[in-house]
Structure 1
Amino acid sequence: MGFPLQGCFRAGNTGSFLKQWPDKIMTKPILLLTRPKESSFCFFDSLGPEIAAKARLIVSPLLEIAGTGVQPDLSGVRGVIFTSANAVGFAPLGQGRAAFCVGERTQAAAEKRGWKVKKVSATAGDLLADLDMALIEGPVMHLAGRHLRMDIVSALRSRGVMATCATVYDQKLLPLSDEAQSAMAGTAPVIAPLFSPRSASHFVEQAGDLARVHAVVISPAVAAVLPEGACASIQVAQQPTGLEMRRSVEKLLADCRLA
C-alpha cells in the first residue's frame, strides 16, 4: 500500500501530539489503527490534518513483524518481488538488482536499500498483469511474509515463469491493548481500518462488541470476515489500495453524523 515515508509519526511522538488536543477529546470518534506501528503512524500522517484532528487516535497493533532468519540465495535470480515494505528490511541489499513492487511505500523502501525498481503496481493482482506485460522470463523470487493474501508464485508458474518464494518475515498476532479495549467498551464511535482477512478475523475475536465500530475494509474478502449486522457500518474501499482506504477513512471522519 503506498504512503510517503516523509513526516511519518513514530510511536514516541504520540504523547506530545495528544497533549495538544483539548479536554473534550474523549467525545471525539476514535480512530483505531491496528497495523504494525510504523504502518499505522504513516497511515495517520497521510490523512489531511483538519480531518485527522476530528478523531482521537489509538494505535494498537494486532500484528508484530519479525524476521524468520531465512537468507535467500539470489544467485541466478533475475528479479525479486516485494508485495510489502515489511519484506524489504529482511531481504539482502539490492546492489542494483531488479525489484518489482506493490505500492509506493514498498518502492521507496526497496530503493533505499539499493534495489533497482523496474515496476510499481497498486495491488498484487496488478503486479501480475504488469509482469506479464513486461515479459519477465524469470527466474524471479517473491520475498514475502509467512501469511500471503495471494499465491503469486503459483500464478507466475502457471504462466510459464520460473518463480520461487522465500519467507523472510512472519506476522505474529497480538492482543488489543488495554487502551483499545477500554475504547471499544466506551460510548464513542470507533473507526477501524482493516487491511486483511486475517487481521480482521483477529480483530473480531479481540473486540467482542462491534456495535459502535465503523469498519473500513480494503476488499470484499475482508468484509466477509465481519459478522453480518454486528458493526455500525462497513465501508469497502473502491480499490484495494492504501490511497482508497485513506479516502474512505477521511470521508467517515468528515461526516458529522457519525455516531
Structure 2
Amino acid sequence: MQKIPLILTRPKGSNAVFEADIAPKVRQHVDFIHSPLLEIVPIDGGYDSTGADHAIFTSANGVKYAPKGNGRRAFCVGEKTTQLARSHGWDAVFAGATVLALKDHVLINRPQGEIHHYSGVFVRGNVAEDLSVAGLRVTNIPLYEQRLLPFSAQALSVLERRAPVVVPLFSPRTAAHFAAIAPAHPQLYVVAMSTAVADSCNEMSPARLIIAREPTAKSMALCVENLVLNHSLG
C-alpha cells in the first residue's frame, strides 16, 4: 500500500499532538507533512487580571498565555483545555465541546462578578458580546495573534500532484485560508471538525468532505483513520 500524504495545518505543537493521536496501524500507511497555516504569536500583556473573578477559555492557547488561576473558576470548551486550565491553577469546569454549549452552560450558572474571556485576536462565537447582552459582566481579553502562513514547500509539492491527499482542518479560518491558497486538486480528501469548518471548504471542491461526529481531536483522528484504512481514495 502506497503511503498517503496527510497534510497537517495546525500550529506546530498541535500538529505533533495530533500526529501522535493517530493509531500506529494507520501511521505506517501515512506520510505526515507538517505545514502550519497559523502561527500563534503572544501579545505583550497590558491587561489587569486582578479584577477577574472568573475566566472563559475556548482554546488551549488562551490558557497558556493567561495569568495563573490561583483557584478561580474557569469555564472551558473541550476536555483538553479543561485539563490544561486545571494544571494552571484554575478551578476549571468542562462547559461543553462547542462555544455554543459553553454559552448555554455559563448562562445557566450565571456566575457573579467580572469574567474574562482569554482568547486570540480572531475569535468566533461572540462569547463576550452575547453573554454581556444577557446581563453578565464579560470582557474579551486577546492574548495572542493567529498569523496566517503559506504552505511549506513539501505540502505545496504534494498538492501540485494528482495523487490522493488527506487534509484534516480544525477551524473555519484555516479552512478558508487553505481554500484561498491551495492549487486545484482532483483527489483532495478533507476531514472537517464541524459544519462551520466544512462550509469554509466549499471553494475547494474536494473529492470527499467528511465532518467529524464531535468537534474533538479524537473524533478527527478516527475520521482520518477510517479514511486511510478503508482506502476509499481515488
TM-score by length of 2: 0.93
Residues 1:224 and 2:224 are matched in the alignment: no
Alignment of 1:130-149 (within 5 A): 130-149=105-124
- Note the C-alpha offset of 1:71: 3.4
Residues 1:194 and 2:169 are matched in the alignment: yes
Check whether the contact 1:218–1:239 (CA below 8 A) recurs between aligned residues: yes
Q: Which residue number corresponds to residue 146 of structure 2?
A: 171
TM-score by length of 1: 0.84
Check whether the contact 1:123–1:241 (CA below 8 A) recurs between aligned residues: no
Residues 1:56 and 2:31 are matched in the alignment: yes
Check whether the contact 2:54–2:116 (CA below 8 A) recurs between aligned residues: yes
Q: Aligned with 1:121: secondary structure?
A: coil
Q: Which residue number corresponds to residue 208 of structure 1?
A: 183
Structure 1 stretches of 5 or more lacking a match? 1-23
| Consecutive aligned runs of 4 or more in structure 1 exceeding 4 Å deviation | none
**CA 1:176–1:54 in 2, change beyond 3 Å: closer, same or farther?**
same
**RMSD across aligned positions (CA):** 1.7
Alignment of 1:1-259 (within 5 A): 27-227=2-202, 230-259=205-234
| Alignment-mate amino acid for residue 179 of structure 1 | Q
- Note the C-alpha offset of 1:135: 2.8
Q: What do the CA deviations read for 1:44-86 (whole angstroms, capped 9, x no partner)?
A: 1112211222211011000000111133312232201111111
Tell me the matched-pair count: 234
Structure 2 stretches of 5 or more lacking a match? none
**CA 1:246–1:138 in 2, change beyond 3 Å: closer, same or farther?**
farther
Q: Which residue number corresponds to residue 18 of structure 1?
A: none
Q: Aligned with 1:141: secondary structure?
A: strand
Q: Aligned with 1:143: secondary structure?
A: strand
| Alignment-mate amino acid for residue 127 of structure 2 | I
- Note the C-alpha offset of 1:175: 0.5
Check whether the contact 2:192–2:198 (CA below 8 A) recurs between aligned residues: yes
Check whether the contact 1:28–1:188 (CA below 8 A) recurs between aligned residues: no
Q: Give the fraction of aligned pairs with identical amino acids, expressed as a percent.
A: 37
Q: Aligned with 1:235: secondary structure?
A: strand
Check whether the contact 1:70–1:166 (CA below 8 A) recurs between aligned residues: no
Farther-moved stretch of structure 1 (107-116 vs 158-167) = 107-116
Check whether the contact 1:143–1:166 (CA below 8 A) recurs between aligned residues: yes
Farther-moved stretch of structure 1 (225-234 vs 75-84) = 225-234
Task: Return the alpha-carbon distance in structure 2 between the equivalents of residues 243 and 137 of structure 1.
Answer: 34
Farther-moved stretch of structure 1 (141-150 vs 119-128) = 119-128
